[in-house]
Amino acid sequence: MSESQRWWERDARAVWHPFTQHSLWLDDEPTVVARAEGPWLYDVDGRRYLDGVSSLWTTTFGHGTPEINEAIVRQLSILDHSTFLGATHVPGIELAERLLSLAPTGTGPTLSKVFYAGDGSSAVEVALKMAYQSALQRGQFRPLFLHLAEAYHGDTLGAVSVGGIELFHATYRPILLSTLAVPSPGVRSPGQSPAERAAEVITELEKVMANRGHEVCALVVEPMVQAAAGMLTYHADFLRACRRIADAHGALLICDEVATGIGRTGRMWACEHAGVVPDLLTCGKGLTGGYLPLSAVLTTDEVYQAFLGTPASGRTFFHGHTYTANPVCCAAANANLQLAVERDLVGQAARLGERLGALLAPLQSHPGVVEVRRIGTMTGVEVHSRGERTGFAVCQAARRRGVWLRPLGDVVVLMPPLTLEEAETELLVTALAEAIDEVVA
């Protein structure tokens, strides 16, 4: 019995994994990760795999980045944890300042305040509650959120309410918030251009808001790419229209940058592709460089001011959790963002995206491929279905070639660490192409 097999058996007896059908768990021979270094994962049997999805879209510089390691150790020797309720601390203050210095600029308000959360889903919950309560405290009852079909914003109930992926969300519809939805601007008809599809959905958005806009407290969007829907990309015109239409109807714009932020699209923030600034911006995943769970919501002084009043007024934002702004998490994020500036992480990500695009170009005409979708390093390769779990079979074939990937249905996702070198990038694409040949063609 191999070392992996021994751990599989122990895992199967004790663990329930996320997004996992456990009736197939052992048959799938899951990777038992023992350690990681740079862009590489190593299993307990000593095999090495290129981390082609940045450990679920989080790793920026790679695993074991010395500067982030040192920042975490240094912080542990000073302050491991202190509540952020009724107290504050240096790394939390410094991180808020750093995030605001990197905030997007363009059409829209100035982002001037940071509220911390624990993960992407909880950051979205914060943004939804802030949007609703701030409207209420300005004398407006706006109980609805408007979101996109095929959206994904996390797995807590508020975040699921503004999601639109039936496979994930249909079960919970009876217990969710009431929302409005418009079609995805990333789902195009054959021969339809991204700009044409954007114009089509903008028209639908204008109709919905003309009828119900007075009830909508916020429009919620993943800027430029709907990641969990299979990397559905859309034209920047749609995001610009969201800003314009939200303003016209007195609603807020929430840009969920948990997946798209921190350089993933070749810009620091995906909303920068459209020159748009939202009223609330959520970030997570790559915020700590892939080390520790931390997320944040950046918002405006106008939203913040709506919560000011006497203690008896009830205007306080009664939201938080035990580990809000954990100092160790904040230290990791500070080190990661400092390195991002010093090493031009966004520029590196943009160049990596272009390399990926060039290497993937031949797959556009591959008989086993439906479409290659990419913005920056966020890439989805949709393969023709050959029955159940075709995308998973392609990822398994890539793993046999030393590359670890994860599918979204029949879409194979590539989202490597943002500093991936040329030889490693070639391995990533070559393994994927060979895996598609094996499974689909």
> Letter for the amino acid at 433?
A
**Is there a single domain that holds both residue 349 and residue 429?**
yes
Do the domain assignments include residue 380? yes
**Is there a single domain that holds both residue 51 and residue 116?**
no
Do the domain assignments include residue 121? yes
pLDDT for 31 equals: 97
Do the domain assignments include residue 25? no
| Domain final residue pick, 324, 342, 360 | 342
Residue 388 — pLDDT band, cuts 50, 70, 90? confident
Helices 90-101, 327-342: axis angle to 10 degrees equals: 40
Q: What is the H or E stretch that residue 121 is in?
A: helix 120-136
Residue 441 — pLDDT band, cuts 50, 70, 90? confident
Residue 362 region, left (φ>0) first, then alpha (ψ -120 to 50), else beta?
alpha
- 199 class by beta-carbon count within 10 Å (0-12 exposed, 13-18 middle, 19+ buried): middle
Question: What is the average pLDDT across 380-397?
Answer: 96
d(CA 171, CA 256): 23
- 183 class by beta-carbon count within 10 Å (0-12 exposed, 13-18 middle, 19+ buried): middle
Do the domain assignments include residue 46? yes
**Is there a single domain that holds both residue 281 and residue 158?**
yes
Dump pLDDT digits (tens) for 91-100. Answer: 999 999 999 9
Do the domain assignments include residue 9? no
Residue whose structure tokens are 């590539």: 414
Domain that holds residue 433: 31-61+344-439
Residue 387 — pLDDT band, cuts 50, 70, 90? confident
**Mean pLDDT lowest among 71-80, 167-176, 191-200, 259-268:** 167-176
Hey, what are 225's tokens? Answer: 């790419």
d(CA 145, CA 406): 31
Q: What is the CA radius of gyration of the chain?
A: 22
Can you spell out the DSSP letters for 66-109?
HHHHHHHHHHHTT-S---SSS---HHHHHHHHHHHHT---SBS-
Residue ranges in 361-411 assigned as alpha helix (H): 390-399
| Domain final residue pick, 342, 372, 388 | 342
d(CA 267, CA 120): 19
Question: What CATH number did the domain enclosing 243 receive?
Answer: 3.40.640.10
What percentage of the chain exceeds 90 in pLDDT?
A: 98
Question: What is the average pLDDT across 68-73?
Answer: 98
**Is there a single domain that holds both residue 182 and residue 227?**
yes
pLDDT for 39 equals: 98
d(CA 261, CA 99): 12
Dump pLDDT digits (tens) for 333-378. Answer: 999 999 999 999 999 999 999 999 999 999 999 999 999 999 999 9
Question: What is the average pLDDT across 146-173?
Answer: 95
In the predicted model, is pLDDT for residue 392 greater than 90? yes
**Is there a single domain that holds both residue 331 and residue 349?**
no
**Is there a single domain that holds both residue 165 and residue 266?**
yes
Angle at 47 between CA 42 and CA 52, to 5 degrees: 60
Judge contact between 199 and 239, C-beta under 8 A: no
pLDDT for 418 equals: 98
| Residue-wise burial string across 221-253, b where 16 or more C-beta atoms lie within 10 A, e elsewhere | bbbbbbbbbbbbbbbbbbbbbbbbbbeebebbb
pLDDT for 1 equals: 85
- 179 class by beta-carbon count within 10 Å (0-12 exposed, 13-18 middle, 19+ buried): middle
| Domain final residue pick, 342, 365, 400 | 342
**Is there a single domain that holds both residue 320 and residue 408?**
no
Do the domain assignments include residue 400? yes
In order of 99, 109, 269, 370, the CA distances from 272 in angstroms are: 15, 13, 6, 29
Question: What CATH number did the domain enclosing 371 receive?
Answer: 3.90.1150.10
d(CA 209, CA 214): 8
**Is there a single domain that holds both residue 278 and residue 357?**
no
Neighbouring residues of 425: CB distance < 8 A, sequence distance ≥ 6: 352, 355, 356, 359, 416
Judge contact between 43 and 32, C-beta under 8 A: yes
Can you spell out the DSSP letters for 135-168?
HHTTT----EEEEETT----SSHHHHHT---HHH
pTM: 0.97
d(CA 303, CA 134): 6
**Is there a single domain that holds both residue 142 and residue 275?**
yes
> Letter for the amino acid at 428?
L
Helix, strand, coil percentages, rounded to 5, for the chain:
45, 20, 40
Listed residue (32, 34, 62) closest to 50, CA to CA: 62
**Is there a single domain that holds both residue 42 and residue 120?**
no
Do the domain assignments include residue 6? no
Can you spell out the DSSP letters for 294-363?
-EEEEEEHHHHHTT-S-GGGT-S-----TTTT-HHHHHHHHHHHHHHHHTTHHHHHHHHHHHHHHHHGGG
Total domains in the chain come to 2
Dump pLDDT digits (tens) for 225-244. Answer: 999 999 999 999 999 999 99
Hey, what are 205's tokens? Answer: 């958005």
**Is there a single domain that holds both residue 399 and residue 279?**
no
**Is there a single domain that holds both residue 304 and residue 415?**
no
Do the domain assignments include residue 201? yes
